[in-house]
Chain A
Amino acid sequence: MWDYTDKVLELFYNPKNQGAIENSDESGVAVVFGEVGSIACGDALRLHLKIEVDSDKILDARFQTFGCTSAIASSSALTELIKGLTLDAALKVTNKEIAEYLGGLPEAKMHCSVMGQEALEAAIFKYRGIPVVAHDDDEGALVCSCFGISEAKVRRVIQENNLTTAEQVTSYIKAGGGCGSCLANIDDLIATVKQESAVGTSYKISTQIAANIATTQEQSPRALTTVQKIALIQKILDEEVRPLLIADGGDIELYDVDGDRVQVVLQGACGSCPSSTATLKVAVEAKLQERVSPSLRVEAVDPLFSLAKGR
């Protein structure tokens, strides 16, 4: 048996807001429903909303769910979370918030919370006349044909929930949970999303260091002895460069200084970052040129090479 929280069990045995909302033709009020999933998939949710037209406020929310314990509890939690919100505020409710409301869900059941978020979007989009086919998630090639899940949706869930394994993706949106033939593609997508995220991080670091250089009040480099030069390079790397890189999952280590040639080892996220060259040139080299000597040139050394050299 799954390890469900008391809140999940409470909302399963005594769900709140269960049922449909009938259209009463009440003035100034609209009734709409959105649905996701299907009986073939093994879970489906039809979310009904009663909306005050002038204020865009959700007056009532009810659900009909075909699914397991956590699907029913997640649906109930969703309706509790969104009642009284404006549609724009409701659209900001994430699957994480649904799971948190329940005191957590087993990871393999996270797709139940995602289903809630998607049904909410479907209902609001329908109300606003936005065609469901225009939703980002439906664009692009299918990754998982068993459950009909697109690349855009896989990318989104990886990014929003910081997922790192194909198994997690399966738990969140079912992709890969059928024949399993797309698991390798999901692994590739995880790597791509991480890489894209790292490029963004690298750009951010470069920009920040460049900004620091621009605002520095340091004067032109002094004439330094070799020992002083190495010590200063080490100090700047340790105190000004490394903290920024470490904050984003990377690191840098001084490997050697040979005249004006500064050799460093990029580690962690920086080591695998495709824009590490930009980090080196725009950020590290520029900073050392500014603070130590304009003639310095920074280059990266392969970490394996540095290990082979006994460092």
Chain B
Amino acid sequence: MNVIYLDNNATTKVDEQVIQAMLPYLTEFYGNPSSMHSFGGQVGKAVREARAQVAALLGAEDSEIIFTSCGTEGNNAAIKAALAAQPDKRHIITTQVEHAAILNVCKLLEKQGYTVTYLSVDRKGQIDLMELEASLTGNTALVSTMYANNETGVVFPIEQIGLWAKDAGAIFHVDAVQAVGKIPLNLKTSSIDMLTLSGHKLHAPKGMGALYVRRGVRFRPLLIGGHQERGRRAGTENVPGIIGLGKAAELAQVHLKDVQREKALRDRLEKGLLSTINDTEVNGDITQRLPNTTSIGFKYIEGEAILLSLNQYGICASSGSACTSGSLEPSHVLRAMGLPYTTLHGSIRFSLSRYTTEAEIDRVLEVMPPIVERLRTISPFNNDQADWLQGREEALAH
């Protein structure tokens, strides 16, 4: 059975050209890029080229790129660097819908005496800029928000956030793990001070990422040791990973012009599901959204049951339901948006890539209606009870 992979916000297939670019650095070019001999030197040159490829994708300078092991490391390094650079400031602003690599660091920092403001989001998953403005003070060291949400694809008004953060004298960090490669970026003209990306979200291998640090922004390294990455990230470089990330960045830049095709397929999927299955709704702001992502709530049924049913057909997607995560609470993102329980537990995220085909989308459109129908037959809830359920939700909300 062919796999239909629609879980690209979780991870992506490594591009064949990326693999080919990496292979020589796993075999013949195994020198240490820090070595003084020419055998290592040629590897060092390849690393510099990869850095330039990543910088080009971001519209940044080569020297502003620090290679990391993943998005989590980039986010951790950015937050700690920003706070270390401003030891007198003890306030952080972030949002309720960030990735755990931000939220859990912030929770830890709260225990260490920092104050953290978690900006709320509305039903569309958008933050309220007025709330941001009201939260900024002279004590704010850092504003850290995601560029685009991993579950809904909702894109935040990054430039506006950055301008206000700068006015307040705060450093502005952006977790752009889901946005890089899907949205054109030009950091030269941006208000972003630091930006995190992760290779495996753009067809590079897992275990590779990068952190952009604007020239002039003070940076304190997370990893201390050797002089690699100009002393900003110690440890012998993951050379094959860096080469792979560089190639993936180059390819992503080329494919940016093709995202309209992905968007068209996403819209086809979305419209098809909404038109053939009743009691469904799209979660999040459909105008300010990544081109590859849709999160759809199928009322009255539970997400894991949908996923396992899709799995029978070789279709891979993701769920915001608690049952798939090992947690008992549904997605913190969907909850923060205030979705009704009827939708919350039955939300499925489909995330496409440049490899997604029209035939694959059509296959999903074919199998989803009977899956939803079957599970709704098993469920004790249905549209007849909508009023009763609504009453229950209102009671719970109070």
| Segment of B114-122, B166-174, B278-286, B304-312 engaged in the interface with chain A | B304-312
Report A-chain residues with C-beta under 8 Å of the C-beta of B256.
Answer: none
Q: Which of A24-45 contact B (CB under 8 A)?
A: 35, 38-40, 42-45
What CA separation (Å) do A228 and B239 show in the bound complex? 76
Given contacts A38-B392, A42-B321, A177-B328, contact A18 B377 (CB under 8 A): yes
Minimal beta-carbon separation of A228 from chain B (angstroms)? 62
Q: How far is the CB of B310 from chain A (nearest CB, A)?
A: 11
- Does A64 lie within 8 Å of B380, measured CB to CB? yes
Interface residues of B in 285-305 (CB under 8 A from A): 300-305
Say yes or no: A1 contacts B311, CB within 8 Å. yes
Q: Is the interface of A mostly helix, strand, loop or mixed?
A: mixed
Q: Check B328–A65 contact: CB distance below 8 A.
A: no
Measured in the bound complex, the distance between the Cα atoms of B378 and A45 in whole Å is 10
User: B381 within 8 Å of A by Cβ?
Assistant: yes
Does A203 interact with chain B (Cβ within 8 Å)?
no
Cross-chain contact A15 with B378 (CB below 8 angstroms) = yes
Chain A contacts for B381, CB-based, 8 A: 39, 44, 66
On chain B, the residues within 8 Å of A66 by CB distance are 300-302, 345, 379-381
Q: Are A46 and B328 in contact (CB under 8 A)?
A: no
Say yes or no: A39 contacts B378, CB within 8 Å.
Answer: no
B277 sits at the interface (CB 8 A): no
Contacts A66-B302, A178-B329 hold; do A42 and B380 have CB atoms under 8 A apart? Answer: no
List chain A residues, Cβ under 8 A from B304: 68-69
- Contact mask for chain B residues 317-346; partner A; CB cutoff 8 A; 1 contact, 0 none: 000011100111110000000000110010
| Whole-angstrom CA separation of A42 from B304 in the bound complex | 11
- Contact partner of A42 (CB less than 8 A), chosen from B326, B345, B379, is B345
> Which of A12, A65, A108, A174 touches B379 (beta carbons < 8 Å)?
A65
Q: Is the CB of A65 within 8 A of B378?
A: yes
Count B-side interface residues using an 8 Å CB cutoff.
30
* Interface hub of A1, A12, A13, A66 (most chain B Cβ within 10 A): A66
Q: Which residues of chain B have C-beta atoms less than 8 A from A271's C-beta?
A: none
Cβ contacts under 8 Å, B342 to chain A: 39
Assess whether A67 is interfacial by the CB under 8 Å rule. Answer: yes
Which residues of B are found within 8 Å of A170, using beta-carbon distances?
328
A42 near B323: Cβ-Cβ < 8 Å: yes
Tell whether A58 is near chain B: CB-to-CB under 8 Å.
Answer: no
Is the beta-carbon distance between B393 and A40 smaller than 8 angstroms? Answer: yes
Residue of A44, A64, A68, A174 contacting most chain B CB atoms (<10 Å): A68
Nearest residue, chain B, Cβ from A65: B378
Size category, A interface:
20 to 34
Task: Answer yes or no: A72 CB below 8 A from chain B CBs.
Answer: yes
The reply to whether B328 and A174 contact each other, CB–CB distance below 8 Å, is yes
Q: Mark B370-398, 1 if CB is under 8 A from A, else 0.
A: 00000001111100000001001100100
> Once the chains bind, are A39 and B322 in contact (CB under 8 Å)?
no
Q: From A106, which residue of chain B is reached at the shortest CB distance?
A: B326
State A147–B311 Cα separation when bound (angstroms): 30
Contacts A65-B378, A65-B379 hold; do A42 and B311 have CB atoms under 8 A apart?
A: no
- A12-B305, A35-B380 known; A42 and B328 CB under 8 Å? yes
Give the residue of B305, B389, B392 whose beta carbon is less than 8 angstroms from that of A67: B305
* Closest chain B CB from A62 CB (angstroms): 11
A39 with B341: in contact, given A66-B380, A68-B323 (CB under 8 Å)? yes
CB distance from B6 to the nearest CB of A (A): 15
Cross-chain contact of A12 among B308, B328, B330, B341 (Cβ < 8 A): B308
Which residues of chain A are near B303, meaning CB under 8 Å?
68
CA distance in complex: A71, B380 (Å): 13
Q: How far is the CA of A174 from the CA of B302 in the complex (A)?
A: 17
Instruction: Say how far B290's CB is from chain A's closest CB, in angstroms.
Output: 25
Residue of B300, B305, B378 with most partner-chain A CB within 10 A: B378
A38 to B302, CA, bound (A): 12
What's the nearest-Cβ distance from chain A to residue B3, in Å? 14
Query: Of all chain B residues, which has the CB nearest A76?
Result: B378
Bound form: Cα–Cα A12–B322 in Å: 18
In the complex, the chain B residue whose C-beta lies closest to that of A19 is B377
**Which residues on A sit within 8 Å (CB–CB) of B377?**
18-19
Contacts A15-B378, A66-B379, A69-B308: A39 and B328 contacting too (C-beta < 8 A)? no
Q: Complex Cα distance A67/B300, Å?
A: 9
- Which residues of chain A are within 8 angstroms of B327 by Cβ–Cβ distance? 177
Chain B neighbourhood of A13, CB < 8 A: 309, 312
- Cα A18 to Cα B302 in complex, Å, equals 16
Highest count of chain A CB atoms <10 Å: which of B302, B345, B389 = B302
Nearest Cβ in chain A — how far from B322, in angstroms?
6
Contacts of A15 in B (CB 8 A): 378
Q: Which residues of B contact A43 (CB under 8 A)?
A: 302
Interface string of A130-149 (1 = CB under 8 A from B): 00000000000000000100
The answer for the CA separation of A147 and B396 in the assembled complex, in Å, is: 11
The smallest C-beta distance from A61 to any residue of chain B, in angstroms, reads 15
Q: Which residues of B contact A9 (CB under 8 A)?
A: 308
A91 to chain B, nearest CB (A): 22
8 pairs, A vs B, C-beta closer than 8 Å: A18-B378, A42-B322, A64-B378, A66-B379, A67-B305, A68-B302, A69-B304, A72-B305
Beyond A64-B380, A68-B304, 4 additional contacts (C-beta under 8 Å) are A9-B308, A65-B379, A67-B302, A68-B321
- The 8 A-B residue pairs with the shortest CB-CB distance, nearest first, are A177-B328, A64-B380, A68-B323, A68-B304, A46-B380, A66-B379, A40-B341, A39-B341
A residues with a Cβ closer than 8 A to B are: 1, 9, 12-13, 15, 18-19, 35, 38-40, 42-46, 64-69, 71-72, 108, 147, 170, 174, 177-178
